[in-house]
Amino acid sequence: MGSSLPVLAVWLPIAARRAAARPTAPPDTMPGTAQVFVVCAVTAAGLSSQCRFYTAVVGPTERLKAGTELGYLDAHPFPIPGAQAGATVKVLVRMTVSPAANGQGFAVGAPEAVAPSHAGAEIGRPAWIAPPRGLWADALTSELARRQNQEGQATAHCTATAAGTLTECWVETESPPNLGFGEAALVMLQHARMKPMAGNGAPVAGRSYVQTFQFSPNAPYTPMMPSLPPGSMSMHMGMAMGDMPH
């Protein structure tokens, strides 16, 4: 793992919340929930297993919280649709985390959202309400490529809900690995929302959506162009994450 990855995993959600607070930014699709980056194995049934944190958890309170979160995930495996059985993938999990009622430890639960039933083909041309791009995304990732002095690419796989939000998102590929590009892709997709009906008139609920992001330290932000292949997007960002520590 790169030495900068723990910093990125901590500050990407913070930077996303600050970027999303701007008037022109799309809101987080699951406000009030914690964003938890974990690595999970994929079972033969396509479910999560043996999830673990891949960045350091510091301090007794945070370790207690992390242990409670992992215990919840062990007891409540979730789908990782499209992932190969036996693979180990990075996942952004959303959950509610609050102090326990008895004042000891933490209470963890799933977000109040109906899990989609998986059906239908991959969404090729969604009709966006809040696309996973824009000036807020440029602000979120503004220094990521530059501070790494490295071009990168990340592809994330999600499932659309009936409301058009994206859930069950995981990193399909990232290059170079462990520099934060995969995590940035997951965070940006948490702010995306598509119309319940795709461009061809078919419902999006329960269907998979695959998005590719390109990062460049030298190129300005470029919005998605209609000529791009279905399910892909080119984002060239001369980026900075001013909120991140150096």
Q: Look-up: residue for tokens 């994929």? A: 42
Coil, helix or strand at residue 206:
coil
Axis-axis angle for helices 5-20, 181-189 (nearest 10)? 30
Does 5 or 117 have the greater pLDDT score? 117
Question: Are the beta carbons of 56 and 34 closer than 8 angstroms?
Answer: no
The predicted pLDDT at position 157 comes to 95
Residue 83: count other Cβ atoms within 10 Å of its Cβ: 23
Q: Average pLDDT, stretch 37-44?
A: 96
Report the alpha-carbon distance of residue 134 to residue 121 in Å, rounded: 27
For the chain, the average pLDDT equals: 78
Q: Which amino acid is at 106?
A: F
Count of alpha carbons within 13 angstroms of residue 40, beta-carbon side: 30
Per-residue model confidence as pLDDT tens digits over 185-226: 998 898 899 999 988 888 999 999 999 888 877 645 443 322
Distances (CA, A) of 200 to 62, 125, 195, 205: 46, 8, 11, 14
Distances (CA, A) of 126 to 15, 33, 92, 109, 227: 26, 25, 22, 30, 14
Does 147 or 200 have the greater pLDDT score? 200
34's enclosing H/E stretch is strand 34-42
Domain spans in the chain, listed from the N-terminal domain onward: 30-109
Res 231 pLDDT > 60: no
Read off the tokens for 71: 């215990």
The predicted pLDDT at position 245 comes to 26
- Cis peptide leading into residue 13 (ω within 30°): no
Res 178 pLDDT > 50: yes
The predicted pLDDT at position 246 comes to 26
Q: What is the SS3 assignment for 159-191?
A: EECCCCEEEEEEEEEEECCCCCHHHHHHHHHCC
Coil, helix or strand at residue 75:
helix
Report the alpha-carbon distance of residue 192 to residue 28 in Å, rounded: 8
Q: Average pLDDT, stretch 50-67?
A: 93
Q: Look-up: residue for tokens 């891949």? A: 54
Per-residue model confidence as pLDDT tens digits over 115-142: 666 767 899 889 999 888 766 666 556 5
Which range among 21-25, 82-86, 87-91, 179-183 shows the weakest confidence by mean pLDDT?
21-25
**CA dihedral of 11, 48, 233, 240, whole degrees rounded to 10:** 10
